[in-house]
Structure 1
Amino acid sequence: MKLKRFLTGVLSAVMALSVCALPAAAAGGEDTTPTAPSTSTIDTGKKGSITIHKYLVDGEVNGGSSNYGEKLTKEPEAEAAKDVGFSIYQVMTAKELVAYYNGKDNTEPKASDYTPVADKKSVKTTDNKTYQRHGDEKKTNEKGEVTFNELEVGLYLVVETTKPAAVTKAVDPFLVSVPMTKVGANGKADPTQWLYDIHVYPKNSTQTGTIYLKKQGLVGGDAYNTPTGLNGVQFRLERLKEGKTVGDTDAWEIVTSKNNNNGIYTTSIVNGDNGTIKVDGLHPGTYRFTEVGYADSAAGVDKKYILDTAASYTFKIEATPDGQKVTKLDDSNSDYEIKGTTITVTNYAPDVDKQVVNRTDGKTYQEAADYAVGDKIPYRIAVTIPTNIAKLKTFCLTDTPENLDDDTRIQFYSNSDCKALITKSLVKETAGITSTNNAKGKGFKIDFDPAKLEEYAGKTIYITYEATLKKGADTTTAGNHNKVDLTYSNKIKSGNVLEDETADHNHIEDTAVVYTFQIDITKVGKDGNKETPLDGVTFKLYEQIAHQTETGEKVLSDDDAKALGFKDTNKFSYKEVATGTTEGGGKLTFTGLSNSKTATTGASRYWLVETQTKEGYNLLGAPVEAKLDIVYKTTWKEKNTFDKGVLVKHSHDANTETFKTPNDGSQTNNGTQEGTEQSAGLDRGEKVTYGILSTEIINKKGFQLPVTGGFGTLLFSGIGVLLVLAGVAVLFSMKKKNDRA
């Protein structure tokens, strides 16, 4: 029978066509008619083997030449299928196989004639013959290979009894003859050579698809901000092993490919969208993404977001007629969602914003304001709580002032106008709020209890307190900083893993600035056209304040104010600020002053009263008004630079401010005076800008009446007494003459 001779001659070619999908290679024009084998050369006592090479492909196995039962010289360019189970059944003995090859058995064997029973330990034919499984089921290794050794000569049925999760249908059962004739390079069978170690390459009908992971960061909660796509974040992709459950030990295996050998994927720009991972060629099955960290090359990446390395984002891929379906498996984890084939994972971050109250209106919060030494300065800190606050181990604020002393009487509010007071404790039971000291001032630390903050997850709370500006405060553009640092866990870890104080914390810093200024006086004496600097002239500086009915130690009564020349005593009172005497060439500086503008009138707040002058010069007849109104920026752009775990929002130094009206459209206090550039010190070329009002005050020489109690009064009094005595003497002398007469 021609079909039998064909099977006998080139059974390997039949295997290639019906089982391995590897067509026989034949040179064009050559005679490929099979040659009948010589069954006399079969060694029926020899043992053979069947090695199965299993790959997940959708189409032909590429990369090697036709094998005709031999191992390919080059491995296919396809994904190896691990843990695929195969069972073999001997359906012909050596004697039956030789008889079949010799034409004594005209029944043509077909794999479809055999049906595995339910337990897969045997197969039955249509005429109820039973064949037992040869040994146990074996599964492919990581290379997709499995070998059945020590096989007797015969015909074997190979059945895929455990199919890979990646395929929709197991490979059809197929027959393998041990041995089979060897086919030469010319495609012709060699009737004298038999292959006892057979290699087969069965393929499944597989279905693969593409999934996307979208990584986004969110500050606070949904109601406050728009999510941001985050590049440079790494995830590990794993697949659930066949027969395992999610909670099993060693249940997951890394998903690799020819373009990814470690299963680590990094978010980047995909199709113009930031924070995206694209993975091709995923077969049906159960998978999970686990966050690993930031890529080493992720320079410039916004790393303020809290990585959740304890969470797994699990999903299932199922084959459908239209492609594939991706389903979320962990409904308890609200930090990820799946729409279509896109898995969106959200990380969260806190935020902190430090501001100071505008002195002139007493209510507007801004980045900078001006105050005088001794003033109580109101501050507000806005803290945005991350949605996953309850999972954090560390969440604390540290306030570090310069030339300021903080008051630790702190209030917490749930709204920005600071009217809804939070009365419940938000801090740890022990040392929740503590005072701190630094070289330039006294600050505080608030150690929050994350569990107590859960009620405010995704929201913003507000903290208010006051600080006092200290004597010696900086009057240059450098200003007096009050910096807040928010320290928080940057990773969520499994179990009770301890944090590393340096590596596992992020910091967000923000700074509010207080400026304070000075009045520089130059005292000059004028005699005709000649001007001379006058040392030793004393001035008192008064601050104009709202009228007070009760006078304090340094507040003038209305009568005293009028006596010094202050005219508007019904509306204002006058408080003594400082006293000073000119020296060094008629120079005098009053420092640590706020601008002159007031919230109600905008009028000058400072007056200079001369209380003692140089001999020969007249005292000033009235107070001298000092209009201090230095311009400065009340806000500036956020810097938002991330360096060594610290995100700096508003960075401020001497170069941030110029005390000049800016050209960038920044909001200012509408000041009218510019700062004054001066040398920073002796023998230093550095120039700094001070907030200075410079004023020259001139005294003139002239006639001066003697003051009450002076030497002139005594002289005139003495002459008067002598004249009176002389008059009395004359009267007594005249009386005596009259008496004699």
Structure 2
Amino acid sequence: MSQFDSAESAVDVAKIISDADHWTKEDTAKFAKAASACIIDNKSVTAYEDNGEYTIPLPNAGYYLVVDATENNGVDKANSALILNVSGTTNVTPKRTKPTLTKQIKHNESDTWGDVGDNAIGDDVEFKITTTIPSDVSAYDKYTYTVRDQLSEGLTFNNNLTYKYYDASGNEITPVTVGPNTTVGVDDPSTADFKETFYVTFDIKELLKKYPNVDKIETLYSAKLNENANVVTGTLPNSKDNNPNTAYLTYSNNPQDTTGKEKGETPKVTVYDWTFSLVGNKVDEKGEPLAGAKFQLRNVHGDAIRLVKIADNVYRLEIGSEAGSVDYIETDATGKFTIKGIDDQTTYKLVETEAPAQYNRADPYEFKFDTTYDPANTLQSIRMLDGTDSGTSGSTVKIINQKGGSLPTTGGIGTQIFYGVGGAIVLGAGVLLIAKKRAKND
């Protein structure tokens, strides 16, 4: 027996669905869903917008079913239905019926989250995707949404997804079990124009049964900056010399859809990871290139950073332990070398361990890169800070060798040999002088 068997008019129906003791919001949602599928008069009306508010003129008082079907962009949309008793001017504020997505990258020096990060090749880069839960999904028999994430070629997914749930006050909900409410996949064939590195589907209705206070979900993971990473080497600004990571959300958006194929989607959000290069130029006092100089790139602890040669005079930082890696660079006749995959705001030291024949070694060069970005996250400037007030624009360092010899450090074996030979000469002169005096006296 239906609750509406005794109803003879729209007023009677309204009384039934207004009875809070016998009628739930789930009943209202189901009724609106059924009613919207059986609309008698589907004539369109004109809505007038003023400062974000819409006015819909209606011909007569009565009961109306208002279906919110689309957003202005035609993509980020969610259908919802309201039953209104209109006898005069009626104000309606729709509930949040669609989810949102934001994405951030962690800055490794400051431990803060933002749109731009920078790392050395071989670093693990942390990412965070935050999605909100719609305020009311009771009209849906099944409600899911899917986080879709695409890493660029220079980032390798570490396959280490974790999740955190929060309530509306921002308090983390613990403990949680992700379990059957979540499905993880790779490269969903239903999104041919977007090749996912991974996607995660959340069954929101099931999730809300277990955690009714959940308001947002954080999806966290990391990726390694690899040997294919784009490295800043050219003229600035150059927006191509970065490593993007893009994500967006698809979600159920029509309670009347029984196929699960109708989806809304959020705008795509991209964050960027940057890495840099050091260009060395080894010259003599006249500016001519010098071959045969050996250098090490060292960290703040004085340890040599191992490098992998990828082209003539071009090296990158080692990833893990790679076969064929070296801990020094030797210049050829060009005097030039490039080291790719250097982090900014990290202190390095370039140390000449062996100078060309007949030249003195240059002093160690300590430096770090300082960078700025515009609002579009494009690199605008790079300076090499080396202890001076302003540093040097760009990422090239000129290492000059002075010709000539220098005495070894006092106390060294070379000095001892020198003193030994010199002492023998002085002593010999003394013996000769005494011998001459004796001969003269005789």
Q: TM-score, normalised by structure 1?
A: 0.40
User: 1:314 Cα shift?
Assistant: 2.9
**Which of 96, 101, 111 is equivalent to 1:352?**
101
Q: 2:178 aligned with 1:425, yes or no?
A: yes
Determine the structure 1 residue equivalent to 2:360: 618
| Paired AA for residue 268 in structure 1 | Y
Instruction: Give the aligned residue type for 2:331.
Output: T
Alignment of 1:699 onto 2:401: yes
- Aligned equivalent of 2:44, options 248, 252, 264: 264
Show CA shifts across 1:426-478 (max 9, x none): 6646xx2235699xx99322121222332467722222222211124222343
2-side partners of 1:280 and 1:304: how far apart?
A: 27
Change (3 A) 1:531 1:278: closer
State how far apart, in whole Å, the 2-side matches of 1:510 and 1:589 are. 33
2:131 is matched with 383
Cα distance, 1:578–1:278 mapped onto 2, change above 3 Å: same
C-alpha distance in structure 2 between counterparts of 1:304 and 1:371, whole Å: 33
Flag the 1:354–1:544 CA change in 2: closer, same or farther, 3 A. same
Shift of the 608–247 alpha-carbon distance from structure 1 to 2, 3 Å rule, reads: closer
* Contact 1:522–1:696 (CA under 8 A) maintained in structure 2: yes
Q: Is the 8 A contact 1:617 1:702 kept in 2?
A: yes
| Distance of 1:425 and 1:446 partners within structure 2 | 11
Amino acid paired to 1:627: K
Aligned length: 343
Match status 1:281 vs 2:59: yes
Letter in 1 for 2:64: R
Q: Secondary structure at the match of 2:373?
A: coil
1:342 shift after superposition: 3.2
1:469 and 1:383 mapped to 2: Cα distance? 25
- 1:450 — aligned with what? 204
Unpaired stretches in structure 2, ≥5 consecutive residues: 1-8, 12-32, 233-237, 307-324, 384-388, 418-442
2:373 aligned to 624, 632, 642, which one? 632
Matches within 5 A, 1:706-717: none
The verdict on how the C-alpha distance between 1:248 and 1:342 changes in structure 2, with shifts beyond 3 A counting, is: closer
SS of residue in 2 equivalent to 1:473: coil
Higher relative contact order (CA 8 A, sep 6+): 2
Judged with a 3 Å threshold, the aligned counterparts in structure 2 of structure 1 residues 473 and 583 are, in CA distance, closer, same or farther, namely farther
Counterparts in 2 of 1:422 and 1:355: CA distance versus 1, 3 Å: farther
Separation in structure 2 between the aligned mates of residue 624 and residue 341 of structure 1, nearest angstrom: 73
Structure 1 partner of 2:151:
401
Distance 1:406 1:165, change over 3 A: closer
User: In the alignment, which residue of structure 2 is the partner of 1:99?
Assistant: none
SS at match of 1:625: strand
CA contact (8 A) 1:523 1:696 kept: yes
Alignment of 1:125-204 (within 5 A): none
Residue pair 1:435, 1:444 contacting (<8 A) in 2 also = yes
Q: Which amino acid is 2:353 matched to?
A: T
The offset of 1:592, in angstroms, is 0.7
2:399 is the counterpart of 1:657: no
Kindly, what percent of the aligned residue pairs are identical? Answer: 23
Which AA in structure 2 matches 1:459?
D
Letter matched to residue 448 of structure 1: F
Residues 384, 674 of structure 1: alpha-carbon distance in 2 compared, 3 angstrom cutoff: farther
Are the counterparts in 2 of residues 387 and 458 from structure 1 also a CA contact under 8 Å?
no
Using the TM superposition, give the Cα deviation of residue 630 of structure 1 relative to its aligned residue in structure 2, in angstroms: 2.5
Aligned with 1:517 (options 270, 273, 276): 276
Secondary structure at 1:591 match in 2: strand
Q: Secondary structure at the match of 1:628?
A: strand
Equivalent of 1:475 in 227, 231, 241: 231
Change over 3 Å in CA distance of 1:490–1:538 after alignment to 2: farther
Change (3 A) 1:581 1:498: same
Distance of 1:489 and 1:351 partners within structure 2: 13
Q: Equivalent residue of 2:45, what SS?
A: strand
Question: Match for 2:267: what amino acid?
Answer: I
Conserved? CA contact 1:631–1:673, under 8 Å: no
Partner of 2:255: 492
Q: Distance in 1 between matches of 2:361 and 2:287?
A: 16
Output one character per residue of 1:233-282: Cα deviation in whole Å (capped at 9) or x when no partner.
Answer: xxxxxxxxxxxxx989998642xxxxxxx62124332xx35342432430
The answer as to whether partners of 1:381 and 1:463 remain within 8 angstroms in 2 is: yes
- The CA deviation at 1:587 is 0.9
Whole-angstrom CA distance in 2 between matches of 1:249 and 1:418: 38
Sort the Cα spacing of 1:301 and 1:400 in 2 relative to 1 into closer, same or farther, 3 A. Answer: closer
SS in 2 for 1:468: strand
Amino acid in structure 2 at the alignment position of 1:288: Y
Q: Which residue of 2 aligns with 1:305?
A: 77
Q: CA deviation at 1:593?
A: 0.9
Q: Is the Cα–Cα contact under 8 Å of residues 355 and 512 in structure 1 kept in the other structure? A: yes
Residues 143 and 205 in structure 2, CA contact (< 8 A), matched pair in contact too: no
Alpha carbons 2:294, 2:354 under 8 Å: kept = yes
Paired residue secondary structure (2:250): strand
What residue is the counterpart of 2:340 in the other structure? 591
Question: Amino acid of the residue matched to residue 276 of structure 1?
Answer: Y
Q: Greater CA radius of gyration, 1 or 2?
A: 1
Distance 1:701 1:273 in 2: 75
1:592–1:420 Cα change, 3 Å: farther
Stretch of structure 1 that moved more, 380-389 or 367-376: 380-389
Query: How far off is 1:372 after superposition?
Result: 0.8
Cα offset for 1:544?
Answer: 0.6
Aligned residue for 2:162? 411
Pairing partner for 1:459 from 204, 212, 215: 215
- 1:8-87 to structure 2, matched below 5 A, reads none
**Matched AA of 2:149:** D
Contact 1:385 1:457 in 2 (8 A): no
Distance, in Å, in 2 between the alignment partners of 1:400 and 1:483 is 5
In the alignment, residue 105 of structure 2 is paired with which amino acid?
Answer: V
Cα deviation, 1:400-450, whole Å, max 9, x if unaligned, reads: 112111222222123499965552116646xx2235699xx9932212122
Deviation of 1:709 after TM superposition, in Å, equals: 13
Q: Give the whole-Å Cα distance in 1 for the aligned partners of 2:165 and 2:270.
A: 22
TM-score (norm. length: structure 2): 0.64
| Cα distance in 1, alignment partners of residues 372 and 51 from structure 2 | 44
Tell me by how many angstroms 1:516 deviates: 1.0
Is this contact kept in 2: 1:412–1:422, CA < 8 A?
A: no
Distance (Å, rounded) in 1 between the aligned partners of 2:352 and 2:216: 53
Q: Among 576, 583, 607, which residue is 2:349 paired with?
A: 607
8 Å Cα contact 1:539-1:579 kept in structure 2? yes
Letter in 1 for 2:268: E
Matches within 5 A, 1:213-228: none
CA distance in 1, matches of 2:130, 2:186: 20
Report how far residue 394 of structure 1 moved.
3.9
Kept in 2, the 8 Å contact 1:411–1:463? The answer is yes
Any conservation in 2 of the 1:542–1:577 contact (CA below 8 Å)?
no
Q: 1:578 to 1:480 in 2, by over 3 A?
A: farther
Paired with 1:374 and 1:521, the residues of 2 have a C-alpha distance of: 22
- Structure 2 letter corresponding to 1:385: I
